[in-house]
Structures are given as structure tokens and as C-alpha cells.
Structure 1
């Protein structure tokens, strides 16, 4: 089987990082996006011929389009597009700041939508491909204290389910991945907490 080329967002930690390690070990070619290359310098050095690391903030829509266009132009064909970048936001809806609400929507929902939209014309031109969207079982069920995270995941799942039907005639498949709990940085490293919650220490930050 010939090796494939993958374009994956948010590969510096969590599922994205574990995914690219497996793919690179199998000899696949990966274009992975991060906000800080220092976190992934080991893989950059280990796989200089098959791992291309690009800087990207998925809240920057023009940057998303530029990256996707340049990646397809450079590599000719990209077989699998993986929309993985995202983070959690915990706290009661009324405790969240407007900035927190806007940022998680821009990252988890708008960023994912625009990443997929940017890839679609290229996938159609090359005759097909696969889109994988990392979601969560929280895209199907909801729990208190996670309202905005659920909102973004319910939203991206609806988007992908609709797009899957639109692009099926073009030999483009769409897969939603809905993991449960996992031992990643998601909850205690990459998540944000409502600023009004007592346990918020001012040091929580977002990591893609």
C-alpha cells in the first residue's frame, strides 16, 4: 500500500501528538500544525523528511486558507485532512466571560468549519479524500459546567453530518471521532476554567 499524506491541526499534545507519532512511525507523511514548535521539536528532528511542522492559530481564518492552499500546492495530493485542534472550557454558562465564549467558538467550531471548507475544493479537484473531525461523546450528550464546549461539539457534528452528504458524490468521506475520557492534557493542561470559579488560578491556558 502506498504511503499517504496527512494534514492535521493541533499536533503538539493530546490525540494529535499521539496520532502523528503513530503515522510517522509507519512511514506516512504528515503536515502538522502547532502554535509553538518548541513543544514538538523532538519529532521535527527525528523525522526531517516526512514531518512538516507549520505554525497556525486556527482562530485566524485567512491563515487557515493560506496554509491549506499552500500545502496542497506543495504536495500535490493530501489524502487525509484531520481537524483536531481544540480545547475544553469548564464553568457554569453565566460565569464565563464574553471573551471565553467567543474564543472557544472561534477555535472549536469556526476554526474547524473553515479548515474543512478550505480543503474541500482541493479534495474535489484531486478526485477524493478523507476528512476526519475529532469531536467527543460530548457532541451527543451534555453535562453541567460544559455548556460552551458542548455547544461547539454539537455544532461541528451537525456541520460534518451535513457536509458528508454534500461531498459523498465526489468520493470524499467524512468521519467523526467521538472519544470518551483519555489520559491527555485536555482537562488539566489545555482546558480553560471560568474566571469566576474559585479554583481558577489564573494559569490555565489553551494548548493546541
Structure 2
């Protein structure tokens, strides 16, 4: 199997760390970002020059651009860019402070968008590549007490689906990954991948319900149509 080079945000824990470990173990190269450099010291010691790390706070758009540019400069070509960094903010809308609300949006939505914007010129110049966006079944279905989290996930999925159409002519693909429950620190301490039967069931129920509501409006939807005939 041909080795690949990856850029992954948030490799210190959760899906980011698990993915990084598996990729390095099979011989791929990873440019990974963390907020605390010593959080992946064990991986650096074990895998050496196959792991390049940099500090990144995805809420800092200037740092996003600098780190993405440095990663491409370091490796030359990056096959896959993975937007993994993010977190969940839970509680009802009126419980959120302005600071909490803004930080959630900057991390999960704007941060991911800025990584893509920084990477796209490099991917076009090298003739293609792929972007993986870690989302959740919560990008299609909702739970109570998670309005701000869902807002960021629905937002990033809309951005990614539209951007996938824009970049397809440049041989750049986009995949949205929608996991269900997983044993990661998140909970304990243009293609889409639906991971886990709970994710499939939640999304299926949500989409079926929305489709049923849409069908109920079929007869009245055309009342605003205008014809010159």
C-alpha cells in the first residue's frame, strides 16, 4: 500500500489520536496539531520523523494559516486534510454566556472553515487531495440541550457539501464523517460516512421525519408559483 501524508487537527485525544496512531503504525506520515505540545510526546518518541507536530488553536485564524502553510512546506505534498479539532457545548440557549457561545462557533465552525480555506490553494497546486470533516450524527439529527453544538455541526456540513461542489473540478474530494457514540474523551473525560448503528438510526429517523413534513406541504408549495402564460 502506498504511504500517504496526512494533516490532522487535534491529535492529542479522541478520534484524532486514534487515527494518528493507526496511520503512523502502518507507515504513513502525519502532520498533527495540538494545543499542548507535550500531550503527544510519546508519539513523537515512538515514530520520530514520521510525525510533525505544531501548536494550533483553531480559533486563531492567523495561526491556522501559518500552521497549514508550514505543514505543506515541510511535507511538500499532503494527501488528506482532517478537520478533527472540536468539542461539545451542552445546555439550553439561555444558559450560554456570550463567551461560551462565541468560542463554540469559532472552534467547531469557523476554525474548520479556516483550515479548509488555508489548505485549498495547496491542494489545487498539487493536483488534488481529500478533506475529511469530522462531524457527528448531530449534524443531521438533534437532541435537547445541545442547540449551539448542533448549530455548528449543521453549519459545517452545509459548508462542506457546498464546497465539495466547488472543488470537485480540481480533483479535491470532501468526506463528512458522522460518528455516533464512541469511547473517546469527548464523552468520557461530499460523501458521508455514517459510523455506528446509533448514528444510522438517529439520522434515518430525522431525515424520514423531515421528508414526511415536506410531503405534507406538497399541495400548497406551488401557490406562490408565477407563470407568464
TM-score (norm 1): 0.89
Give, in whole Å, the separation in 1 of the partners of 2:93 and 2:117: 29
**Displacement of 1:76:** 1.2
The answer to whether residue 43 in structure 2 is matched with residue 28 in structure 1 is no
Higher RCO structure, 1 or 2 (CA under 8 Å, sep 6+): 1
Residue 49 of structure 1 is matched in structure 2 by 49
Residue 157 of structure 1 is matched in structure 2 by 157
Written as runs of structure 1 = structure 2, the 5 A alignment for 1:169-188 is 169-188=169-188
The count of residues paired between Structure 1 and Structure 2 equals 189
Q: Secondary structure at the match of 1:12?
A: coil
Residue 202 of structure 1 is matched in structure 2 by none
Larger radius of gyration: 2
Identify unmatched segments of 5+ residues in structure 1: 190-208
**Displacement of 1:37:** 1.9
**Displacement of 1:188:** 4.0
The answer to whether residue 41 in structure 2 is matched with residue 18 in structure 1 is no
Give, in whole Å, the separation in 1 of the partners of 2:75 and 2:34: 19
Would you identify which runs of 4 or more consecutive aligned residues in structure 1 move more than 4 Å? none
Which one has a larger percent helix, Structure 1 or Structure 2? 2
Residue 134 of structure 2 is matched in structure 1 by 134
Q: Deviations along 1:40-61, whole A, 9 cap, x unmatched?
A: 1110110112011111000000
Q: Secondary structure at the match of 1:21?
A: helix
**Displacement of 1:72:** 1.1
CA RMSD of aligned residues (A): 0.8
